């Protein structure tokens, strides 16, 4: 187990700045998931930690040792790639043992390490097979086994499940989390999939255009997103955003659609009429006979729940998605309300959470 520290890390390609001022510390045995949209810089950050890209500025420390300029082979880091990167002409055993042979370990040590990792991953019966004889999930486990046998200080995962089908992805995701907890190896995991991020990470680093948008536990990110980007990225369907203004001496927000929502978590300091964005998740919207009218445009039945897409009545006609348990109601109009305890308040100009995070 090891502690990883990134201090003032930056990366530019020519005049394009890809990563800006990344400062974070991973505790020993922690799994940090880096999540964000394509092009936000998450894989570049992982490659810098691995030594495959040189940072433009900043330093990387592993257990207090500065590894910023250390060769990748000497960093004591193992990486699991998206495309498995297995040697097609080698057996499972040889794929897992290859790195150990390069390091000059004895035959007995190699057999012991590969055997232990294979037993841990359920690969013992597959050691004589070639990659082409394995399923996608089995190939990914071989790739993980190759990393495990090295007994590294740090694991790096670069979107390892993106090539798997949905069912296999769920099963392999659970296997990775159980394995990481059992081994207790400090890990960095990159993904664009928010479900992976929420279920795998002890903490999440949400990147947006190369900058850290929020660093917190998964539920902290979900319950108290730092800005509208984080709020829209984490959660499916995405959070609804409604234009509003500050009113009643900072104790409430008046939606453009009409209703006034009282703040239950304290007064906001701002001028009367300040432009706000009110966020509310689809699952928190309630049906109420005296609520705001929502004209239904589309209904998506999902079995145990239903997604209702619609627009609030004028003047705003704001688009809204509502997640309901069970089947959709009859008719073309739905009366909805927004429980004050479930709303999120953002500054309409900056997008930042308005009030204490």
pLDDT tens-digit map of 236-257: 899 999 999 999 999 999 988 7
329 DSSP 8-state letter: P
Given a cut of 90, is residue 266 above it in pLDDT? no
What is the assigned CATH class of domain 237-347? Answer: mainly beta
CATH code 3.40.50.300 region(s) in the chain: 4-230
Give the tens place of pLDDT for each residue, 122-166: 899 999 999 999 988 888 889 888 888 988 999 999 988 887 788
- Could you tell me the pTM of the whole model? 0.87
Question: CB neighbours of 331 closer than 8 A, spacing ≥ 6?
Answer: 296
What local confidence, expressed as pLDDT, does residue 357 receive? 44
> What letters, b where the CB count within 10 A reaches 16 and e where it falls short, cover 301-331?
eeeeebbbbbbbeeebebebbbbbeeebeee
Among 88-92, 192-196, 312-316, whose mean pLDDT is lowest?
312-316
3-state secondary structure of 255: strand
Joined together, the tokens standing for residue 77 give 């880091």
Per the CB < 8 A criterion, the answer to whether 86 and 139 are in contact is: yes
Report residue 279's pLDDT band, with 50, 70 and 90 as the boundaries: very high
- Structure-token pair, residue 128: 């004589």
**Sign of the dihedral through C-alpha 70, 74, 80, 84:** positive
Among 157, 127, 141, which Cα is nearest to 50's? 157
Distances (CA, A) of 56 to 48, 53, 114: 10, 9, 38
pLDDT band at 259, cuts 50/70/90?
confident
- Rounded to whole angstroms, how far apart are CA atoms 70 and 75? 7
- Where exactly does CATH 2.40.50.140 map onto the chain? 237-347
At residue 315, the pLDDT reads 61
DSSP secondary structure, 73-101, as one string: GGS-EEEE-TT----TTS-HHHHHHHHHH
Please give the radius of gyration of the chain, using alpha carbons only, rounded to the nearest integer: 24
Specify whether the CB–CB gap between 44 and 211 falls below 8 A.
no
8 A C-beta contact, residue 42 and residue 190: yes
Whole-number Å distance between alpha carbons of 88 and 130: 6
CATH of 4-230, one of 3.20.10.10, 3.90.1150.10, 3.40.50.300, 3.90.550.10: 3.40.50.300
Q: What is the structure's pLDDT at 37?
A: 87
pLDDT score, position 325: 87
What CA–CA distance (Å, rounded) separates 260 from 255? Answer: 6
């Amino acid at each position: 187990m090891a502690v990883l520290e990134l201090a003032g890390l930056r990366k530019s390609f020519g005049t394009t700045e890809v990563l800006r001022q990344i400062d974070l510390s991973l505790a020993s045995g922690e799994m940090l998931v880096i999540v964000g949209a394509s092009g936000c810089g998450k894989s570049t950050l992982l490659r810098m930690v691995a030594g495959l890209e040189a940072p433009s500025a900043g330093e990387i420390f592993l257990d207090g040792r500065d590894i910023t300029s250390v060769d990748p082979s000497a960093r004591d880091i193992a990486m699991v790639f998206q495309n498995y990167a297995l040697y097609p002409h080698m057996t499972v055993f040889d794929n897992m043992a290859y790195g150990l042979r390069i390091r000059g370990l004895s035959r007995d040590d190699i057999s012991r390490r590969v055997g232990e990792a294979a037993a841990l991953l359920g690969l013992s019966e597959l050691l004589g097979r070639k990659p082409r004889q394995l399923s996608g999930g089995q190939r990914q486990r071989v790739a993980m086994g190759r990393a495990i046998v090295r007994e590294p200080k740090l694991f790096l995962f670069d979107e390892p499940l993106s090539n798997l089908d949905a069912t296999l992805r769920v099963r392999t995701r659970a296997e990775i989390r159980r394995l990481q907890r059992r081994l207790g190896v400090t890990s960095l995991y990159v993904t664009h999939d928010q479900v992976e991020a929420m279920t795998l990470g002890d903490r999440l680093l949400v990147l947006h255009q190369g900058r850290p948008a929020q660093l917190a536990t998964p539920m902290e990110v979900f319950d108290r997103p730092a800005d509208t980007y984080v709020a829209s990225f984490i959660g499916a369907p995405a959070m609804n955003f409604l234009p509003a203004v500050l009113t009643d001496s900072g104790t409430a927000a008046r939606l453009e659609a009409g209703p006034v929502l009282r703040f239950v978590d304290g007064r906001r300091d701002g001028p009367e009429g300040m432009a706000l964005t009110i966020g509310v998740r689809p699952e928190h919207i309630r049906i109420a006979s005296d609520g705001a009218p929502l004209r239904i445009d589309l209904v998506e039945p999902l079995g145990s729940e239903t997604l209702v897409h619609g627009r609030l009545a004028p003047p705003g006609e704001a688009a809204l998605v509502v997640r309901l348990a069970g089947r959709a109601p009859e008719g073309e109009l739905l009366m909805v309300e927004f429980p004050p305890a479930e709303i999120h308040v953002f500054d309409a100009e900056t997008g930042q959470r308005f009030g204490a995070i």
